[in-house]
């Protein structure tokens, strides 16, 4: 580090004094500016109602998505029917279990219940 | 300081309250941060009217992004200093492109600053010297020595490394000293020293 001459020290001190003065006496915010800033804030502020809506619970949001309690009822009924058909398919329908296990289409269209339908093979002995 | 600025909420909390529709939050937050935004713009531009426009725009951007603000990621003031500096840079570029002659004379500084003639002369001398610095040096010197930010905070505002901050502030101060060296007697510092 280079040593400073006495003049340089006093020049540094003078600059520091100027900067200190600037720090302690910042320009005052004009009233008109504050008023404009607050008017902008009012204009673009989100309304409390708009903020409250998305904060409702996950369940009510899902329920709204499928059409309220009527929609939910229909969805539950359809799900139960699907489970029942999957569990014990009518004769006219191909066996979904056989499809998943990779049976040939011809086998499926004939009676394909021996492995995948519930206990029929045992009953027929 | 106004009562609004005395609220104990953090800047983050006030911004969140504003986003939730609290009607008093904007006033409290503005009372706290607008003086810093305006002073920073004033120091970077040296023009009160332009500084007002920049400060208003920076605050408007803050209001607009309030619903998306993520507390703890950045300080509100750091974000505001950065936005203000960017707006000032845009303004200075525009001035350079249209030519200085077409710009209206800068408005007088605030009366409180100009209350005493010598203070006024010192204010003008410092501002004139700041105006003569390259933009990045000016911004670093103002943030460090007038706004009182730490070097890591300045690094965040200016999006540079801490060593670059040190270099900019050191060079900026040396340049200011050189510019002001010939004006000490005029500014009354020799009298103060003698007295």
Write out chain A in H/E/C secondary structure. CCCCCHHHHHHHHHHHHHHHHHHHCCCCCCHHHHHHHHHHHHHHCCCHHHHHHHHCCHHHHHHHHCCHHHHHHHHHHHHHHHHHHHHCCCCCCCCHHHHHHCCCHHHHHCCCHHHHCCCHHHHHC
d(CA B88, CA B165): 19
Residue-level pLDDT at A78: 77
Handedness of CA B74, B80, B86, B87 (dihedral sign): positive
The neighbour count for residue A17, using CB atoms within 10 Å, is 14
Give the DSSP H/E element, type plus range, for residue B142.
Answer: none
Q: How far is A49 from chain B (nearest CA, A)?
A: 8
CA distance B76 to A52: 24
**Beta carbons within 10 angstroms of residue B71's beta carbon:** 12
Does the pLDDT at position A1 exceed 50? no
Tokens 């408005």 correspond to B107
For residue B102, pLDDT beyond 60: no
pLDDT, one tens digit per residue, over A32-86 is: 999 999 999 999 998 876 655 555 566 666 666 666 666 666 767 777 677 776 6
Model pLDDT, residue B13: 94
Does B114 score more than 50 pLDDT?
no
Give the model's pLDDT for residue B194: 44
Which residues in chain A are contacts of B39 at CB distance < 8 A?
26-27
Q: Which residue has the higher pLDDT, B108 or B138?
A: B138
The tokens of A1 are what? 């580090």
Q: Min CA distance, B174 vs chain A (Å)?
A: 9
Q: B154, exposed or middle or buried, with CB in 10 Å at 0-12, 13-18, 19+?
A: buried
Q: Which of A14, A26, A36 sits opposite B39 (nearest CB)?
A: A26
Higher pLDDT, B64 or A61: B64
- Residue B177 contacts A where some CB pair is shorter than 8 Å: yes
- State chain A's mean pLDDT as an integer: 71
The CATH architecture to which B108-195 belongs is: Orthogonal Bundle (1.10)
Q: Which residue has the higher pLDDT, B121 or A19?
A: A19
* DSSP summary character for residue B130: H
The pLDDT, as a whole number, for residue A6 is: 55
CA-based radius of gyration for chain A: 40
CATH dotted code for B1-107: 1.10.1740.10
Q: Give the pLDDT confidence score for residue B158 in this predicted structure.
A: 96
Q: Which of A96, A99, A72 is nearest to A85 (CA)?
A: A96
Residues 75-104 on B with a CB inside 8 Å of A are none
Q: How far apart are CA B160 and CA B140, in angstroms?
A: 11
The larger pLDDT score, comparing residue B100 to residue B165, is at B165
The region, left, alpha or beta by phi > 0 then psi within -120 to 50, assigned to residue B99 is: left
Is B179 at the interface with chain A, CB within 8 A? no
Mean pLDDT, residues B130-138 taken together: 93
Q: CB-based burial of residue B161 (10 Å sphere; 0-12 exposed, 13-18 middle, 19+ buried)?
A: exposed
Report whether pLDDT(B161) > 90: yes
- B140 interface with A at CB cutoff 8 Å: no
Chain A residues within 8 A of B177 when measuring between CB atoms: 8, 11-12, 15
> Would the CB atoms of B110 and A21 count as touching at under 8 Å?
no
Tens of pLDDT, residues B73-96: 889 999 999 999 999 999 999 888
Tokens of B36: 């810093």
Give residue B116's pLDDT: 46
Cβ contact B172:B141 at 8 Å:
yes
What pLDDT score was predicted for residue B124? 78
Report pLDDT for A84: 72
Boundaries of every domain in chain B? 1-107, 108-195
Chain A residue with Cα closest to B62: A41
Alpha carbon of B161: minimum distance to chain A alpha carbons (Å)? 23
Q: For chain A, say whether B34 makes contact (Cβ under 8 Å).
A: yes
Q: Which of A11, A38, A45 lies nearest to residue B30, judging by beta carbons? A: A38
Asked if the model's pLDDT at residue B43 lies above 70, the reply is yes
Q: Report the residue of A22, A38, A48 to disrupt the B interface, i.e. the one with the largest count of B CBs within 10 Å.
A: A22
pLDDT at residue B113 in the model: 43
Which region among A68-77, B23-32, B67-76 has the lowest average model confidence (pLDDT)?
Answer: A68-77
Is B69 in contact with B98 (CB distance < 8 Å)?
Answer: no
Give the pLDDT of residue B23: 87
Question: With contact defined as beta carbons under 8 Å apart, do B18 and B61 qualify?
Answer: no
Q: Is the pLDDT of residue B157 over 90?
A: yes
d(CA B61, CA B68): 12
């Amino acid at each position: 580090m280079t040593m400073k001459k006495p003049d340089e020290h006093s020049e540094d001190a003078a600059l520091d004094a100027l900067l200190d003065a600037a720090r302690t006496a910042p320009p005052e915010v004009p009233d008109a500016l504050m008023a404009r800033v607050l008017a902008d804030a009012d204009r673009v502020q989100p309304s409390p109602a708009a903020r409250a809506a998305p904060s409702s619970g996950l369940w009510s949001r899902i329920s709204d998505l499928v059409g309220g309690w009527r929609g939910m009822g229909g969805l539950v009924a359809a799900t139960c029917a699907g489970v029942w058909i999957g569990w014990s398919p009518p004769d006219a329908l191909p066996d979904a279990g056989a499809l998943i296990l990779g049976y040939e289409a011809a086998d499926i269209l004939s009676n394909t219940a021996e492995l995948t339908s519930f206990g029929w093979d045992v009953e027929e002995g | 300081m106004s009562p609004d600025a005395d609220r104990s909420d953090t800047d983050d909390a006030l911004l969140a309250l504003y986003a939730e529709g609290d009607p008093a939050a904007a006033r409290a937050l503005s009372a706290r941060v607008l003086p810093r935004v305006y002073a920073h713009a004033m120091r970077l531009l040296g023009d009160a009217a332009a500084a007002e426009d920049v400060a208003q725009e920076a605050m408007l951007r803050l209001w607009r992004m309030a619903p998306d603000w993520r507390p703890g990621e950045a300080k509100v003031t750091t974000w505001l200093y950065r936005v203000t500096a960017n707006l000032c840079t845009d303004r200075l570029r525009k001035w350079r492109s249209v030519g200085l002659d077409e710009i209206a004379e800068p408005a007088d500084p605030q009366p409180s600053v100009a209350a005493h003639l010598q203070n006024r002369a010192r204010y003008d001398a410092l501002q004139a010297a700041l105006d003569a610095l390259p933009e990045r040096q000016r911004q670093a010197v103002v943030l460090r020595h007038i706004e009182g930010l730490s070097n890591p905070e300045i690094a965040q505002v200016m999006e540079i490394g801490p060593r670059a901050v040190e270099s900019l502030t050191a060079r900026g101060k040396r340049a200011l000293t050189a510019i002001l060296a010939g004006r000490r007697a005029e500014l009354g510092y020799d009298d103060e020293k003698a007295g």
